[in-house]
């Protein structure tokens, strides 16, 4: 049978991946209401209320001011830092009418066009992107 890895070791490895926030329990706990807010946008009536007054809609949720501001700013890297998960955040950018490519590119510091061109050319190479410590 497989050896059981210590949970601390298992989680520590995730911090060694460049440009990546793995959705761990710590992030899930921090982002609980942020993600549940995003989830609420699956209902058309909620999307209407959200579009009419984003700030008022956010104020119905027990989220931190930082989280609310990051949602208003559509700052997805910041939202991941504050416990957001991309599949939940997808409800926000889908409501904005953005595709995954359009929304995801905003996290990379590239324009949508450059990002799309990178994908069409085979995507981002894993070279040097696997480990911060190992730099491979």
Partner 1 sequence: MARITAGIASSHIPLLGVAADQGKAGEEYFKPIFAGYDWTREWIAQPENKPDAVVLVYNDHASAFDMKVIPTFAIGCAERFGICDEGWGPRPVPDVEGHPDLAWHIAQSLILDEFDMTMINEMEVDHGLTVPLTMMFGAPEAWPVKVIPLAVNVVTYPPPSGNRCWALGEAIARAVDSFGEDLNVQIWGTGGMSHQLQGPRAGLINAEWDNRFLDMMTGDSDEARWIPHIEYLRETGSEGIEMVMWLIMRGALGKKTKCLHRHYHVPCSNTAIGHLVLEPD
Q: Is 64 near partner 1 (CB under 8 A)?
A: no
Q: Which of 49, 75, 112, 129 binds partner 1 (CB under 8 A)?
A: 129
- Residue pair 18/72 in contact (Cβ under 8 Å)? The answer is no
Q: Which of 2, 48, 65, 135 binds partner 1 (CB under 8 A)?
A: 2
Q: Which of 33, 32, 34, 60 is nearest to 46 (CA)?
A: 60
User: How far is residue 136's CA from residue 125's CA, in Å, rounded to a whole number?
Assistant: 11
Q: Which of 8, 123, 133, 135 binds partner 1 (CB under 8 A)?
A: 123
Question: By CB under 8 A, how many residues form the interface with partner 1?
Answer: 59
Sign (positive/negative) of CA torsion 76, 80, 82, 83?
Answer: positive
Q: Is 15 near partner 1 (CB under 8 A)?
A: no
Q: Which of 61, 64, 69, 95 binds partner 1 (CB under 8 A)?
A: 95
User: How far is residue 84's CA from residue 34's CA, in Å, rounded to a whole number?
Assistant: 6
Tell me how many degrees the CA angle 41-80-108 measures, rounded to the nearest 5: 105
| Alpha-carbon 92 to chain mean position | 11
Q: Is 35 near partner 1 (CB under 8 A)?
A: yes
Q: Which positions lie near partner 1, rule CB under 8 A?
A: 1-2, 5, 10-11, 13-14, 17-25, 28, 32, 35-36, 38-39, 41-44, 47, 76-77, 80, 85-88, 90-91, 94-95, 97, 99-101, 104-105, 107-109, 115, 118-120, 122-126, 129-131
């Amino acid at each position: 049978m497989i050896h059981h890895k210590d949970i601390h070791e298992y989680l520590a490895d995730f911090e060694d991946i460049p440009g990546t926030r793995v959705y761990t329990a710590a992030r899930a706990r921090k982002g609980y209401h942020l993600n549940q807010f995003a989830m609420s946008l699956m209902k058309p009536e909620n999307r209407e209320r959200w579009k009419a007054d984003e700030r008022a809609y956010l104020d119905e949720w027990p989220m931190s001011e930082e989280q609310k501001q990051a949602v208003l700013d559509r700052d997805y890297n910041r939202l991941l830092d504050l416990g957001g998960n991309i599949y939940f955040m997808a409800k926000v950018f889908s409501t904005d009418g953005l595709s995954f490519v359009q929304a995801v590119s905003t996290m990379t510091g590239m324009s949508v066009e450059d990002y799309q061109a990178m994908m069409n050319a085979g995507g981002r190479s894993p070279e040097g992107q696997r480990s911060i410590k190992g730099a491979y």
